[in-house]
Every structure is written in structure tokens, then in C-alpha cells.
Amino acid sequence: MRRREAPRAHWCALWLAEALRVTRPGGCCLLFTDWRQLPSATDVLQAGAWVWHGVVPWLNLNARPMAGRFANAAEYVVWGSAGGEGDRPRSRNCAGSLHGSGTTGVAAVLEHRRFVGAELLDHFATIAEPGMGAGQEASNTPLHLTALGHSYGSSTTGYALGHDTPVQDAMLFGSPGQGAEHLKVPQGHLFAAQDAGDTLVPNYGDTGALGPSPYFSPDASSYHQMSTDASVTEAGPRSATEGHSGYLDAGSTSMYNMAAITTGHPDLAQYKGTVLAEGPR
């Protein structure tokens, strides 16, 4: 492994391990790579504790000729599963941790699968939306985009939502501030969650360095405040959130709420105070 690849490989192993934690037994992981990162991709998949099952070539039939050498006519898919013998991916749910221009999302919607993509830069949301929209039209499926942001990531999410984006729902949790002064999200489609034991969330009433608080500032009135307490939901009992890093804990009320919002069922979520009367979209 080249020296400059080592930090990237370590980072990939960390998020792959976290992805494994929230994947159902038998769920699959597919890493798309070219020949340069192929060796390290097979390593990081296993370092993340996935069961490695092999490499699938992705042929490019229109590869550009290379003078004096073979054309780079293929990319590769390194794939594995969360335990078990493994089978080719069959889940209706797909997630992309590096959303980019949205090609994985387009493929998912064309196959009539649910897709969740994560990306650091709002620039990519603008790039990805036309392609995913076209994919939705081709598959006769309505497009609905939800943005989720945690901690300082909620501030960067808010900065992005201060511009025109195709996002219809946004949920900020454990947020030190919403970033932009005003978020361009349809009225009634902003959600916020803050655990009482989350000591990293500042209790301020006005705009701080990271923008208005989704919980304590006057802007908080535009948010539906989500419960983080233990609850009994449509999917069974859910545990309380504990501290700043607990919002994404498996089996928690906050994690259940995120699933309800992103799948278009805000009526099933758990709220502080008034429950939304709006039904599934």
C-alpha cells in the first residue's frame, strides 16, 4: 500500500465498521473502485469486519484507447456481507456514504429501491438531483429527498439548505446551530432532536456562531421537536437517547424517528408535545 493510501484506508475501515453495525445480518456492502485502489479496497472491507466474497468486474465497453498500453476498460466492485455465506444483494434499501454525482442513487431508483445518500458538500446535491429525478421518472417513482445532520454536520447541512436545493425534509439532531439564518425547506418539514443529556449542545436563545439554535432560538418554532425518550412505537419498544453520540444508536427512539421521516411517514414518529396530523406522503 502506498504511504498516502494508509490514512484513507484507515478512515474507510472506520466507517465500514460503523456501516456494519447498522446493517441487518446478511446485508451486503459493495465498494466501487478502479485498479489503483483495488488492493486496499479488499483490505479495508475486511478491516471493517465484513465477510469478503469476491470482486466483480464492471466493464466499460467504450474505454478510451491508451497508447502503448492496455486500456482501462474496467472498474471493480469489491463486495461482502454482514456475516453468513452471502448472496447477491436483494435488499430494497440502499445507502451511499459518498453520494457524489448520484450515479449509485440513479441505479437504485431505476431498480425500484429506496436510497439514502450522504455527502459533505451541498454542491453535489445540485449535481445529483437532475439524474436522480430522471431515474425517478423512468421508474415512475416520486422523488423525495431528506437531509439529516448531526452535531457540526447539522450546521454544514444548514448552510447547504440556506441555498436552493431539492430537499423536501430536513432533520437536525444534536445541533449547535442550524448554520444559515433561514433554511429553504418547505414549511412544516423541519425536524429537530435534542437529548436533555446532550451537554455538547449549547443552550442559547439567540443566534450563535453557528447560526440559530433549532431548540432555543425564536427560529425553533419552525421545527417539529422530536422525542428522544424511551417509547413504544409501531415497530415495538425503543430506547432513550443517551448523550451527544447516542442519536444513531440502534433501537433508539431517535433512530426510529429518522427512519419515519426519511421514509415519508412523519405520522409514525415520536414527538415532544403535539403530534403531526399529516399522514404518509
pLDDT tens string 248-260: 888 899 999 998 9
Q: Once rounded to an integer, what is the mean pLDDT over residues 23-28?
A: 84
pLDDT in tens, 43-78: 999 999 999 999 999 888 777 788 888 888 888 999
DSSP bridge partners of 226: 193, 271
Q: Rounded mean pLDDT of the chain?
A: 79
What pLDDT does residue 275 have? Answer: 42
Name the percent of the chain lying above pLDDT 70: 71
Residue 29 near residue 79 (C-beta atoms within 8 A): yes
What pLDDT, on the 0 to 100 scale, is given for residue 277? Answer: 39
Helix (H) or strand (E) holding 21: helix 5-21
Q: What band does 278 get if pLDDT is binned at 50, 70 and 90?
A: very low
Q: For residues 157-177, give the mean pLDDT.
A: 87
pLDDT band with cut points at 50, 70 and 90 for residue 240: very high
CA angle, 265 as apex, 129 and 179 as ends, to 5°?
Answer: 55
122: pLDDT strictly greater than 90: no
Q: Which residue has the higher pLDDT, 116 or 133?
A: 116
**H or E element in which residue 262 lies:** helix 253-262
- The residue type found at 133 is G
In the chain, % of residues over pLDDT 90: 22
Which span out of 6-15, 131-140, 210-219 was modeled with the highest average pLDDT? 6-15
Pick the CATH number of 1-64+72-89 from 3.30.470.10, 3.20.20.150, 3.40.50.150, 3.60.15.10: 3.40.50.150
Most confident of 89-98, 214-223, 237-246: 237-246
Mean pLDDT of 202-231: 78
In this prediction the pTM is 0.57
| Residue 41 to residue 37: CA distance in whole angstroms | 6
Domain boundaries along the sequence of the chain: 1-64+72-89, 144-281
Looking at per-residue pLDDT, the higher value among 196 and 123 belongs to 196
Amino acid letter, 224: H
254 by Cβ neighbours in 10 Å (0-12 / 13-18 / 19+) ranks as buried
Q: Which residues contact 85 (CB under 8 A, 6 or more apart)?
A: none
Work out the pLDDT band at 276, boundaries 50, 70, 90: very low
Flag whether pLDDT at 149 surpasses 50.
yes
What per-residue confidence (pLDDT) applies to 180? 83
